[in-house]
């Protein structure tokens, strides 16, 4: 598959346009020079539409487009639970978590842990998140993105990987989060448009003269096993998505940790101009989440009919791109690059934020605002360089990288969820209990992983969450309470939401009920 000159021109126009837009929206006005709040939190002035689209852009990347399409090819629509259950989780985040974070002026998740528990757990978790973001998230997006770029263009994969990293770094290096968030509206629009094109064209090829809807029904009739949301125990992929656990088990733990307490996600909400804007943005993201499986998973399932026998499931989406006509291919390819770059830029900015605010500023004692911005930029460059060099050694041997990422992070997410939930809603929790839950999560996950290797990882996540919660409560009860270390105010936080948010939330839940009923 090669790009025609028109396709290449469309991609080039996109790259030039998004770079210029990023510099324009983040320009300095008058004599003002960027301070740390400007650079890392977009001056805490993000509007709802930027928050909603930027949440999606930070999340949807090569992991979803390439990885989830590959999982759709292998196991079917059931993989869409990650998206649809995320929509429900976002409602919880908007109503219960963001009001506390914004009331207390939280800038980073490690900062919340220090304000709630003490300094030790802030350092421990900051180290963990830096390692996770650089060696799992950043590398996975670079690797999976480079697969698509090299397959479409014929470019050497390492060169593609390096170019993706370099451009993603360059377009946000000057403006920080503001450059990322205010361009994500365009990026997500292009992503949705390009995704709808590829879904329509692949289904149209299956349906022939009868059209797209006929193609969907034909695909459903030919491969009904790929259209079940709740897998049965005899399904060969039951271990990846173990039945009802996606609705009442470990997936909730993973989603709450990811959407509620993950710096590169929640940072958009922390940068909102108000709690009302943050909640409207979260609601917008929830509705977009409902649409994502159509533009990501369905093309992977269509590849079962159009390209059976692929060597690797992760080849499904790039292979479907090869069916697109000139011009449309350029648009879809630009949409893929948009998703990769937007997500990369989000990770890069959050790595720089945690390194600068949670390590450098505290350890060096230097708080000059322009100096912190400079340090953040150097941290961003270093993170991209490490990610480029580490991507192939870490991910080159995996067939379904998306499942690898979920399995790896599953060792830590139960403990993260426990320490934040206890910190938010149980005043008696202390640092000893939080550290016990965090460390216990890793130890218990490893013990169950090797002691009970047949247990699905999602069930393991749910079980470890319960055990870590008990551990955190017991240790907190057995050790002295230290009220002076809890500087988080919740007594004056209002959890009331607007009528518009409530109506939208009901709409999201009703759509989810219909989807799971139809594709049970």
Q: What is the reported pLDDT for 257?
A: 94
What CATH number is attached to the domain comprising 347? Answer: 1.20.1730.10
**Phi-psi category of residue 274: left, alpha or beta, with phi > 0 → left and psi -120 to 50 → alpha:** beta
Is 279 part of a structural domain of the chain?
yes
Place of tokens 């695909």: 219
Check whether residue 188 and residue 246 sit in a common domain.
yes
Q: What is the reported pLDDT for 405?
A: 67
Which among 449, 433, 441 has a CA at the least distance from the CA of 417?
441
Q: How far apart are CA 116 and CA 443, in angstroms?
A: 24
Contacts of 179 (CB under 8 A, 6+ apart): 22, 23, 25, 26, 171, 172, 345
Sign (positive or negative) of CA dihedral 358, 364, 368, 374: negative
Is 244 part of a structural domain of the chain?
yes
Per-residue CA distances from 143 to 57, 286, 288 (Å)? 18, 27, 25
Q: How far apart are CA 99 and CA 501, in angstroms?
A: 14
Check whether residue 374 and residue 477 sit in a common domain.
no
What burial class does residue 389 get, using C-beta atoms within 10 Å of its C-beta: 0-12 exposed, 13-18 middle, 19+ buried? middle
- What's the DSSP call for residue 454? T
Q: What is the reported pLDDT for 63?
A: 63
Segments forming the whole domain that contains residue 361: 45-397+491-518
Q: How far apart are CA 163 and CA 340, in angstroms?
A: 12
Check whether residue 359 and residue 464 sit in a common domain.
no
- What's the DSSP call for residue 399? S
Task: Check: CB of residue 140 under 8 Å from CB of residue 395.
Answer: yes
Q: What is the reported pLDDT for 403?
A: 58
Check whether residue 470 and residue 329 sit in a common domain.
no
Q: How far apart are CA 370 and CA 36, in angstroms?
A: 7
Is 26 part of a structural domain of the chain?
no
User: Where do the H-state alpha helices sit in 307-399?
Assistant: 316-321, 328-353, 361-364, 369-395
Task: Check: CB of residue 83 under 8 Å from CB of residue 246.
Answer: no
Task: Check: CB of residue 399 under 8 Å from CB of residue 314.
Answer: yes
Residue 16: both structure tokens together? 């030039």
Is 35 part of a structural domain of the chain?
no
Check whether residue 236 and residue 382 sit in a common domain.
yes
Q: Considering the chain, what percentage of its residues have pLDDT values greater than 70? A: 96
Is 380 part of a structural domain of the chain?
yes
Low-confidence ranges of the chain (pLDDT < 70): 1, 62-63, 397-407
Which among 139, 224, 300 has a CA at the least distance from the CA of 519?
224
Number of domains forming the structure of the chain: 2
Q: How far apart are CA 258 and CA 86, in angstroms?
A: 9
Task: Check: CB of residue 149 under 8 Å from CB of residue 66.
Answer: no
Check whether residue 461 and residue 497 sit in a common domain.
no
Quote the distance between the C-alpha of residue 4 and its chain's center.
32
Q: Which residues are paired to 46 by β-bridges?
A: 272
Check whether residue 339 and residue 478 sit in a common domain.
no
Residues 364-423 have pLDDT tens digits of 888 888 899 999 999 999 999 999 999 888 877 665 555 566 667 778 899 999 999 999
- The rounded mean pLDDT for the chain is 90
Q: What is the DSSP string of 50-111?
A: HHHHHHHHHH-SHIIIIIIHHHHHHH-GGGGHHHHHHHHHHHHIIIIIHHHHHHTT--SHHH
Q: How far apart are CA 133 and CA 352, in angstroms?
A: 11
Check whether residue 427 and residue 332 sit in a common domain.
no
Is 27 part of a structural domain of the chain?
no
Check whether residue 467 and residue 340 sit in a common domain.
no
Is 321 part of a structural domain of the chain?
yes
Check whether residue 298 and residue 329 sit in a common domain.
yes
Residues 280-304 have pLDDT tens digits of 999 999 999 999 999 999 999 999 9
Residues 73-84 have pLDDT tens digits of 999 999 999 999
Give the predicted TM-score (pTM) of the model.
0.91
Q: How far apart are CA 119 and CA 123, in angstroms?
A: 6
Q: What is the reported pLDDT for 474?
A: 97
What burial class does residue 287 get, using C-beta atoms within 10 Å of its C-beta: 0-12 exposed, 13-18 middle, 19+ buried? middle
Check whether residue 361 and residue 275 sit in a common domain.
yes
Q: How far apart are CA 22 and CA 136, in angstroms?
A: 26
Check whether residue 392 and residue 252 sit in a common domain.
yes
Is 480 part of a structural domain of the chain?
yes
Q: What is the reported pLDDT for 404?
A: 61
């Amino acid at each position: 598959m090669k790009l025609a000159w028109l396709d290449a021109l469309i991609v080039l126009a996109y790259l030039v346009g998004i770079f210029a837009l990023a510099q324009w929206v983040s320009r300095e006005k008058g004599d003002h020079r960027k301070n740390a709040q400007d650079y890392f939190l977009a001056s805490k002035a993000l509007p709802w539409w930027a928050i909603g689209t930027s949440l999606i852009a930070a999340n949807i990347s090569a992991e979803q487009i390439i990885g989830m399409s590959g999982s759709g090819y292998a196991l079917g629509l059931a993989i869409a639970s990650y998206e649809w259950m995320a929509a429900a989780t976002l409602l919880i985040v908007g109503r219960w978590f963001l009001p506390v974070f914004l009331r207390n002026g939280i800038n980073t998740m490690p900062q919340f842990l220090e304000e709630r528990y003490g300094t030790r757990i802030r350092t421990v978790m900051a180290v963990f998140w830096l390692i996770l973001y650089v060696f799992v998230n950043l590398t996975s997006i670079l690797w999976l993105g480079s697969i698509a770029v090299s397959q479409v263009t014929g470019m050497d994969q390492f060169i593609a990987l390096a170019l993706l990293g370099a451009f993603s770094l360059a377009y946000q290096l000057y403006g920080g989060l503001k450059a990322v968030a205010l361009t994500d509206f365009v990026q997500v629009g292009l992503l949705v448009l390009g995704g709808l094109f590829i879904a329509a064209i692949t289904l149209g090829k299956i349906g022939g003269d009868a059209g797209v809807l006929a193609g969907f029904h034909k695909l459903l009739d030919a491969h009904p096993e790929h259209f079940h949301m709740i897998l049965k125990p005899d399904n060969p992929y039951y271990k990846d998505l173990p039945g009802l656990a996606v609705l009442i088990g470990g997936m909730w733990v993973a989603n709450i940790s990811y959407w509620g307490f993950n710096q590169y996600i929640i940072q958009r909400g922390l940068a909102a101009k108000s709690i009302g804007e943050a909640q409207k943005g979260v609601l917008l993201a929830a509705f977009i989440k409902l649409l994502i499986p159509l533009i990501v998973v369905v093309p992977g399932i269509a590849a079962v009919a159009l390209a059976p026998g692929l060597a690797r499931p992760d080849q499904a989406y790039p292979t479907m791109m090869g069916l697109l006509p000139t011009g449309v291919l350029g648009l879809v390819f630009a949409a893929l690059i948009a998703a990769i770059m937007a997500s990369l830029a989000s990770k890069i900015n959050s790595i720089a934020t945690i390194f600068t605010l949670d390590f450098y500023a505290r350890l060096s004692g230097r708080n000059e605002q322009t100096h912190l911005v400079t340090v953040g930029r150097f941290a961003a460059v270093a993170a991209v360089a490490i990610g480029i060099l580490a991507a192939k050694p870490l991910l080159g041997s995996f067939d379904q990288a998306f499942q690898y990422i979920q399995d790896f992070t599953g060792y830590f997410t139960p403990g993260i969820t426990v320490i934040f939930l206890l910190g938010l809603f149980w005043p008696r929790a202390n640092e000893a209990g939080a550290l016990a839950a965090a460390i216990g999560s890793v130890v218990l996950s490893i013990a169950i992983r090797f002691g009970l290797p047949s247990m699905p990882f999602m069930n393991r996540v749910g079980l470890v969450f319960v055990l870590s919660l008990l551990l955190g409560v017991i240790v907190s009860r057995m050790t002295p309470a230290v009220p002076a270390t809890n500087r988080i105010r919740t007594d004056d936080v209002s959890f009331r939401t607007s009528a518009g948010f409530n109506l939208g939330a009901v709409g999201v839940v009703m759509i989810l009920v219909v989807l799971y009923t139809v594709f049970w």
